[in-house]
Amino acid sequence: MAKNTSNPIRKIVDGMKLTPNPNKEMIALSIGDPTVFGNLLPAEVVNAAVVESVKDCKHNGYAPSVGYEKARQAVADHYSLPSAPLTSQDVIFASGCSSALDLAISVLANEGQNILVPRPGFSLYQTLANSLGISVRHYDLLPDHGWQIDLGHMESLLDDHTAAIVVNNPSNPCGSVFSQEHIKDILKIADKNKVPIIADEIYAHFVFPGHEYFSMASQTEDVPIISAGGLTKRYLVPGWRMGWLTIHDRHDAFKNEIRPGLLALTTRILGPNTLIQGALETILTKTPQEFFDSTIAVVKANADIAFEALSKIPGLKPVMPSGAMYMMVGIDMEKFPEFHDDKEFASAMVTEQSVFCLPAQCFKYPDYFRVVLTVPQEKLQVACERIEEFCRDHYTVTNGANGME
Ligand SMILES: Cc1ncc(COP(=O)(O)O)c(C=O)c1O
């Protein structure tokens, strides 16, 4: 298993020369961790709930492997919808959304089978699947259509060995948010081909004003769905490792094998953190809406700044996000002939401008880079100015002369 385990992002980043310009302070727009700059803090009520959970000394022991019943009930109550009802039995805790995804992939797919995953997409799906001998097939997202799924392409990849389709909405790295109609179209394909969906909904509700978030499960009564979520992003606490699966299965397709399988898998290790489980009901019921609104406002303002600044740079093509915390930026590589690929481009940007963006080959999507939008505004502005300078220095017009067209 170890031999089959590798994280593409680590592999690519470890292979990059990342020596910042000593005269410029490093600005890392690369890490999808909203806590790194200290500008985005959890809600006070959330911190207080965890302190209380420590003090009451009731959550220091081993919890049931699926999690405390009270905390599971809190998640069920919070995420239950008339169109996608949940009970505590449908909730399984894990150590962050990553472990929740691990449980979902492990239970749905067997060695030798395949799962469908998005391109560009979060690389962990491949890491987890391949380590279990499960292959991944990448379906394309379309940048010119708000990163919607190329549904024809997705359907063409399905075969008798496809165990699940992974759908990530809102998306890392695209920051896209699927419309209700698009979700229904995805579900139609899943239904027609009788394939369950693993919905990676860690950015659930993390959408800009004017956009609406629809969970996959809320749009179907027929397709069985395992949704992975958690506190990580929206509550700004990735280190707390509080994630979960919610099981949506109106016709009991998961009754005989998948539900017992998930329970069995949780007994391998006790992953979920008990102190956070102790605080979970308060976290979910008492975090004020203003907290979420102000986080979104920061990210949206940054998206506007980055989009405006980067749109003006010849050779770059940013795609405006609608949610999550990322923006993808296309690179017209022909205009930057010094660089062989997005990796070399990103690496040179570190050397010259001390700005680090992840080359999108980390997400199986060359000729783009990803910008993280949770940084303080001033830093983002400086970063955009430096990206502009970098592009100006390297932009090459087709007649071979150096400089702007
Ligand atoms: C799309 C997506 N899914 C899952 C995760 C993992 O979340 P967690 O830190 O809760 O394991 C991330 C983290 O960046 C993510 O972007």
Atom 13 of ligand 1, nearest CA residue: 32
- Per-residue pLDDT of 120-155, as tens digits, reads 999 999 999 999 999 999 999 999 999 999 999 999
- As a whole number of angstroms, the distance between CA 347 and CA 353 comes to 10
Domain limits at 302? 8-41+290-394
Q: Of 161, 222, 151, 246, which Cα lies nearest the Cα of 189? A: 151
* Structural domain total, the chain: 2
Same domain membership, residue 142 and residue 248: yes
The CA 32 to ligand 1 mean position distance, Å, reads 9
The CA 78 to ligand 1 mean position distance, Å, reads 20
Same domain membership, residue 52 and residue 27: no
**Which residue, of 262, 286, 310, is where some domain finishes?**
286
In a domain, 115, yes or no: yes
In a domain, 271, yes or no: yes
The CA 104 to ligand 1 mean position distance, Å, reads 14
* Pocket test residue of 97, 178, 358 for ligand 1, highest count of atoms within 8 A of CB: 97
Same domain membership, residue 66 and residue 27: no
Same domain membership, residue 295 and residue 179: no
Among 72-76, 249-253, 400-404, the minimum mean pLDDT is found in: 400-404
Ligand 1 atom closest to the CA of 100, numbered from 1: 11
The CA 9 to ligand 1 mean position distance, Å, reads 13
Identify whether the C-beta of residue 396 lies closer than 8 Å to the C-beta of residue 338.
Answer: yes
In a domain, 124, yes or no: yes
Confidence label for 405 from pLDDT (cuts 50, 70 and 90):
very low
Q: Which phi and psi angles does 299 have, rounded to 5°?
A: -65, -40
Q: Output the average pLDDT for the chain.
A: 96
Q: Which residues line ligand 1 (CB under 6 A)?
A: 32, 96-98, 122, 168, 172, 200, 202, 230, 232, 238, 243
The CA 97 to ligand 1 mean position distance, Å, reads 6
Ligand 1 atom closest to the CA of 168, numbered from 1: 1
Write the CATH number for 355: 3.90.1150.10
pLDDT value of position 399: 61
pLDDT value of position 397: 85
- Per-residue pLDDT of 146-203, as tens digits, reads 999 999 999 999 999 999 999 999 999 999 999 999 999 999 999 999 999 999 999 9
**Which residue, of 265, 286, 307, is where some domain finishes?**
286
- Per-residue pLDDT of 9-62, as tens digits, reads 888 988 888 999 999 999 999 999 999 999 999 999 999 999 999 999 999 999
Q: Which phi and psi angles does 323 have, rounded to 5°?
A: 180, -165
pLDDT value of position 114: 98
Same domain membership, residue 239 and residue 160: yes
